[in-house]
Amino acid sequence: VLALARALDARDAYTARHSENVSRYAVSIAVELGWSTDRLELLRVAGLLHDVGKIGVRDSTLRKSARLSPAEWDEMQQHPVLGARMIAGVAPEEIVPWVVSHHERYDGSGYPHNLRGEAIPDGARVLAVADTFDAMTSSRSYRPAMSPLRAIGLIVEEAGVQFDGDVVRAFIRALKSNAIDVRQVELSARTAPAQEQHGSVEGELAEHVAVDPEFRRAEEVVDPNAADAGDDDLAFPTAA
């Protein structure tokens, strides 16, 4: 398992940071859901390995700075299946379905198997929220980071659609308890390596930011023509 994680680190330094963040956020959410210590450790490992299948995705697709073509999108959608195959037999058996299903959507429109609701393994439902939050609040080659509070608002809007509502509520509790520190999330985006900096994350960036191309139906999550609803309505600590 560690060898796979290190191979992922070597492939893409951003993905390494992303996987570490997803692992940490997912565990914080699962604590709020009352998971046992043993299952929390399994989830920690799953978070580190959830994107390991990207090792099998071409660099030209993985690092493309423009919209993916249909063929490239099809290739990207294979990474959960590739990842599950890679870890099967070497990682704990329970995490394999979590890895293969972390891009499923609660409404059944996700990939790779169009699972719906509680048919999606619980670990995958937790990883989906953690994965999306880190993707939206991190700078990448093709766009700057989104305001953490705006990202939280979008996740809340997608409760019961893209995400399990119970998991979203646990995510909110983790934010309110400071287990997931909004200020640290924004600070990390500000201090990312120079090649990842594409402007400050201060202010409301949602009108100018495209959600990561890994996430299906991005245009339904962020409408660049929509007026910002404002983060002040959300009862979360403000980022300094």
pLDDT digits (tens, 9 = 90+) for 29-68: 999 999 999 999 999 999 999 999 988 888 888 777 778 8
**Band of the pLDDT at 10, cuts 50, 70, 90?**
low
Please state, in angstroms and as integers, the Cα–Cα distance from residue 143 to each residue in 105, 163, 196, following that order: 24, 24, 9
pLDDT in tens, 159-209: 999 999 999 999 999 999 999 998 888 877 666 543 343 333 333 333 323
Say what the pTM is. Answer: 0.78
pLDDT in tens, 104-149: 999 999 999 999 999 999 999 999 999 999 989 987 666 777 888 8
Residue 103: which of 78, 138, 85, 75 has the closest Cα? Answer: 78
Give the pLDDT of residue 229: 34
Cβ-based neighbour number of residue 233 at 10 Å: 8
Residues with Cβ within 8 Å of residue 239, at least 6 apart in sequence: 147, 148, 149, 182, 183, 185, 186
In this structure, what token pair is assigned to residue 107?
């409404």
Residue 176 is among the residues annotated as catalytic for this protein: no
The catalytic position among 54, 102, 103, 125 is 54
pLDDT in tens, 86-109: 999 889 999 999 999 999 999 999
